[in-house]
Chain A
Amino acid sequence: MINDKIIVAAADGDRQAFSKIYEEFNDMVWGLALKFTENTQVAEDGAAEIFVKLYKKIDKFDFRSSFKTWLYRFSVNTLLNFLEKEKRRYTARISDEMAEEGSPQAAQKKTDDKVLVRTLLSRIKPGEREIMILREIEGRSYKEIAEITGMKLGTVKTNIYRARESLRKVYKEETA
């Protein structure tokens, strides 16, 4: 179990403490990387990117929310940036894999959905993205979101509505 001491030690560059964090959360990060990529090779690169970046930025964790929640959001944002940066390579690898598997229609649709979701999330503001991840993907309640983000309950309600409006707008543009 990860406690504050381990996090502080990892932030101070303690490699052993960091390996404990890896052991605890590698399945969550791996699952996320797979969700966003649908390709094991790209997912591996993405997961590695998350942990390397975490090693550098773990001191930014302010102990306001649970570490797991913070890491979840951190991972999503890192993945979106990583995939944007690696767009060309990513697309090439997906195409290769699909060619190997005979490009079934269902797989094509799944990949299209993933690409669309990534595009939608990358086109809205970081704050909106964060609140959408908490609400739509993690299924957190308004109250939980208020506790995690430190926002007032009323602000959470307004922000969820605004984030959905932004998503609706970019969805229309992307699917037009």
Chain B
Amino acid sequence: MRCKKYSKKLLNRHIDNDLNEIKKADIDKHLKSCADCQSYIAEIKKIGVLLKTGLKPARRDLNNIPEGLWEKIETKLEITDGDIHLRRVKFITLRKLWVPLAAAAAAIILIVGGLGRNGNEFNADEYVSEQLDYIYGDKPMVSENYLNEDSNGTVIDMVIKGEL
């Protein structure tokens, strides 16, 4: 069972010299007589030293960067260029598109909003009645004015003229 006099967090701050003089002196005094806390601190310090020294490179290799390293990297960058290009295209596309998209959205709002204020308001009842006339009545689906016929009266083309 570990000694509970000081928390592990506090002991870690002691290791890092992050305590005021009074607290530090208290812990130092305690450490003299507590093998438990001593052993905990020694263990943490040991791992810290391991991290530092375990990652110490050989001096002879340190200043000896391989000559062909950049060329090796460059060869691999060629393959990566596709991804970078895609990222760039996405960025530019978004940057370019936001203006027309905003303009299109504004236009839609104006058109929809404008319908309500237009003198030729859309009347659903009238529209349905007109369509029923086309289907059941004598009214032709397409006005003859809009049909091109050959000399035999055969329709060869349909042209939309003027307002629908």
Contacts and interface: CB of A to CB of B under 8 A. Distances in A.
Chain A at the B interface: SS class: helix
Given A19-B70, A26-B65, A40-B61, A137 B84 contact: no
Interface in B122-147: none
Contacts of A164: 12, 44, 47
B100 interface: no
A22 B70 contact: yes
Nearest to B73: A51
B4 to A, nearest CB: 16
Interface in B58-95: 58, 61-66, 69-70, 72-73, 76-77, 80-81, 83-85, 87-88
Contact of B53 (A27, A55, A113, A157): A113
A83 interface: no
Chain B at the A interface: SS class: helix
B1 interface: no
Nearest to B56: A35
A47 interface: yes
Contact of A56 (B51, B61, B84): B84
Given A44-B69, A164-B47, A55 B77 contact: yes
Interface residues of B, number: 38
Contacts of A22: 70, 73
Interface residues of A, number: 44
Interface in A1-53: 12-13, 15, 18-19, 22, 26-27, 30-31, 34-36, 38, 40, 43-44, 47-48, 51-52
Given A35-B57, A52-B80, 16 more contacts: A12-B84, A27-B65, A38-B58, A40-B64, A44-B69, A48-B69, A55-B80, A56-B83, A114-B54, A116-B50, A117-B50, A136-B47, A161-B8, A167-B47, A168-B47, A171-B50
Interface of B: 8-9, 12-13, 16, 18, 43-44, 47-48, 50-58, 61-66, 69-70, 72-73, 76-77, 80-81, 83-85, 87-88
Interface of A: 12-13, 15, 18-19, 22, 26-27, 30-31, 34-36, 38, 40, 43-44, 47-48, 51-52, 55-56, 59, 113-114, 116-117, 120-121, 132, 135-137, 142, 157-158, 160-161, 164-165, 167-168, 171
